[in-house]
A and B are shown apart, each in its own frame.
Chain A
């Protein structure tokens, strides 16, 4: 019986990858656990292992092929002696005692960071041992709740005629850090797996090679401690970029973020500032359940003394991260794992820095104002496209910075449309959208033709089951429903 080896998927954001090379040739005997090929994605390099014993009868996708879709058959393994059509001559299988599969898998698994206990979920016909533990933590390639993001409009700050390059948010963030590290020797990166591992989500890829271990510092898994160390270094004049593997773990460090970083300038009467960036993925990824899916936008944007930024696309991510690194205040920079792999246009400017605290009108319109940020923009923009088909012209505002919030841009828009829907993935109570609704009713009450509505994550912990997770998150349909409700249309 022949078995197809499929292109493996190891993260929710991986839809395709490069089949870098084959380590076995057609006709080679393979046994379970043998590494037969190497695969690359933008995040990780992975080894594909054979799960069945037999002969690598056919290679269907040659080494070096780019953009191989997940679940594409890439090879065929046949039983010894079995005929496979068009199979080249193959040597007799070299029968060796079968290795204990579980043992092999255990060996292949990399050391696991404390809070993430990744479990590889192998496909039917192959198993891949990934070099990226966190990648493996997030199985299920099927798009869960979010489809591809429509291309966002370029920031208004970019001069007309600027050459644009396509890049992922992941690359944009890395480039922003690298550029700022070249510019200022006081800038350094610290966090779990930022150096040798190249970043748990590959955001710091290549930084160790360029800047060395002094400036790209792997930490132990001790968020409270290393946040305090980074804050102390910032007090003393360095400019740390502190990566949280995810913001879920920042709860261990929140004392230093709030009590030490945010308040010391005030408590010292303006003497001791804290130029630090706390960054990392925030909010729900896919299928990682309650403890790894929390959105901290509302938490941090409540704190005076912090700046909070949460970009939705590669261009804003780059321009705002550079601004954050140069800022003399503590900045909480909330990224999103699902957006890391999304590609958008980034201006090819030598020094592209965006202003903090300025929202962006991502889509001009006149009928209803949709306000969102980060991955919420995905729902907002898609909803706007669909509403347009029904003759509703939505204006979509991307906040980009949550604190200080660009209230003026929201109010100006609401004064024009008279209707507002705020969208976020976070919980409803005391959420960012609650704040938006408050500001709109306070500053544009007389212009409102309907109460402000919110589309938020549901008021529950994040469930694991795919269907429940989908229900827990906002959807494009939710946004459309809310937009129609404020327009009194059904």
Chain B
């Protein structure tokens, strides 16, 4: 069932409930991303962060739900709206923020920036600036998993705009042909920059996009972290059982512009407001926690903690030095 807003609601007849602990984990993780992104937006306005900066605000339930279903060792690969994925992967907020600021303490020593960040320790394989590129790269990570038979699953994210890229289908074909353990997660936030999905896609049910390759697909409400988690559980289990890839279309929404320089002429303020008020992924969890007897104060403490982590990250990023000029010439080739 699709509401006026265009986001499916209650697409699963029974939403698998979260335990109190799971609700708290989801709340904490999503709130950290939200506060981090708000701060990144501020720092961009202050000129601390430059270039392109794509905020994840509104989409937090997608990566957090998938992360909650993943096992240690499973890998994450995404495109350039990637800050949330890095935080969900367990990367340090201060080093992510320092990278956004182009400082030496950043994950890429300041040489990658917002769109190009990686962490081998956290099994985070980017951070890719080219639309569609994560699909074959994530399938390649899965190829390595299958080659080694290590039971790991590659969790590969891209947007609904990327879902029209040819290389995505080349990757789908090989992933299915070779039964690679990869979950493709399309984060459908409805706007590829300013182009609404129905203006760019002949088939807007993106969960069907793997059908020609025999890849099972599910279209879900990506604003409900419980649904994302339950679907990712199924998908990951499918992959780990050696059945090949799985496709999830998570219908979501970004509150902010495509990047920081978005004129926002392509959608109404009312539409954005309605999504924030009625479908916000964090507010949904907050409401359930309150209904379950949590006090506002306890939740405020979690929020205060997130703000503290983010403030420290911002301070670190602001105070950190730019890379040494000699770094221009390092890391071009591995020695």
Partner-B contacts on A (CB < 8 A)? 188, 214, 217, 219-220, 222, 224-238, 255-256, 259-260, 263-273, 275, 304-305, 307, 328-329
Contacts and interface: CB of A to CB of B under 8 A. Distances in A.
Interface in B278-335: 330-335
Contacts of B128: 260
Given A268-B116, A268-B117, A304-B332, A222 B140 contact: no
Nearest to A219: B174
Given A255-B133, A269-B331, A229 B140 contact: yes
A314 to B, nearest CB: 27
B126 interface: yes
B95 to A, nearest CB: 10
A328 B332 CA distance: 12
Nearest to B130: A259
B125 A235 contact: yes
B140 A230 contact: yes
Given A219-B174, A228-B171, A256-B133, A270 B125 contact: no
B77 interface: yes
Contacts of A234: 140
A232 to B, nearest CB: 2
Contacts of A228: 133, 135-137, 139-140, 167, 170-171
A16 B244 CA distance: 47
Interface of B: 75, 77, 106-112, 116-120, 125-130, 133, 135-145, 147, 166-167, 169-171, 173-174, 177-178, 330-335
Given A269-B106, A270-B109, A232 B136 contact: yes
Given A229-B136, A232-B141, A268-B118, A329 B334 contact: yes
A273 B335 CA distance: 10
B144 A224 contact: no
Given A267-B112, A268-B127, 6 more contacts: A229-B140, A232-B140, A235-B141, A267-B116, A268-B116, A272-B120
Nearest to B146: A214
Contacts of B173: 220, 222, 225
B125 A272 contact: yes
Nearest to A304: B332
A328 B116 CA distance: 20
Contact of B111 (A188, A237, A269): A269
A266 B332 contact: yes
Contacts of A305: 332-333
Contact of B170 (A188, A224, A269, A275): A224
Instruction: Kindly list the 9 A-B residue pairs having the minimum CB-CB distance in the complex, ordered from nearest.
Output: A232-B140, A225-B170, A228-B136, A236-B144, A269-B109, A269-B108, A267-B116, A232-B137, A268-B118
Nearest to A220: B173
A479 to B, nearest CB: 33
17 contacts: A229-B139, A229-B143, A231-B136, A232-B136, A232-B139, A232-B143, A236-B125, A238-B144, A259-B133, A260-B137, A265-B332, A268-B108, A268-B112, A268-B117, A269-B111, A272-B125, A272-B126
A33 B141 CA distance: 48
Contact of B137 (A219, A235, A304): A235
A329 B333 contact: yes
A268 B333 contact: no
Contact of B133 (A238, A260, A275): A260
Nearest to B138: A232
B117 to A, nearest CB: 7
A188 B334 CA distance: 21
B65 to A, nearest CB: 23
B170 A220 contact: yes
Nearest to B168: A225
Given A232-B77, A232-B125, A222 B137 contact: no
A238 B330 CA distance: 23
Specify which of A232, A266, A275 lies most central, judged by the most chain B CB atoms within 10 Å of its CB. Answer: A232
Nearest to B106: A269
Nearest to A259: B130
Contact of A265 (B129, B178, B334): B334
B245 to A, nearest CB: 12
Contact of A231 (B118, B137, B177, B334): B137
B121 to A, nearest CB: 9
Contacts of A236: 75, 125, 140-141, 143-145
Nearest to B142: A232
A232 B118 CA distance: 13
A225 B107 contact: no
A268 B107 contact: yes
A188 to B, nearest CB: 7
A231 B144 CA distance: 10
A31 B139 CA distance: 51
Contact of A264 (B126, B138, B171): B126
Contacts of A329: 333-334
B120 A271 contact: yes
B331 A233 contact: no
A221 to B, nearest CB: 10
Chain A CB within 10 A, most for which of B120, B130, B170: B170
A256 B332 CA distance: 16
Given A228-B135, A232-B138, A222 B144 contact: no
B284 to A, nearest CB: 34
A325 to B, nearest CB: 14
B144 to A, nearest CB: 4
A17 B119 CA distance: 54
Given A266-B331, A268-B107, A268-B117, A229 B75 contact: no
Contacts of B144: 232-233, 236-238
Given A188-B147, A255-B130, A269-B109, A220 B141 contact: no
Given A228-B135, A256-B136, A272 B118 contact: yes
B125 A222 contact: no
Contact of B331 (A217, A220, A256, A265): A265
Nearest to B107: A269
Contacts of B177: 220
Contacts of B111: 266-267, 269
A243 B272 CA distance: 49
A328 B334 contact: yes
A336 B249 CA distance: 45
A270 B117 CA distance: 11
Contact of B174 (A229, A235, A238, A270): A229
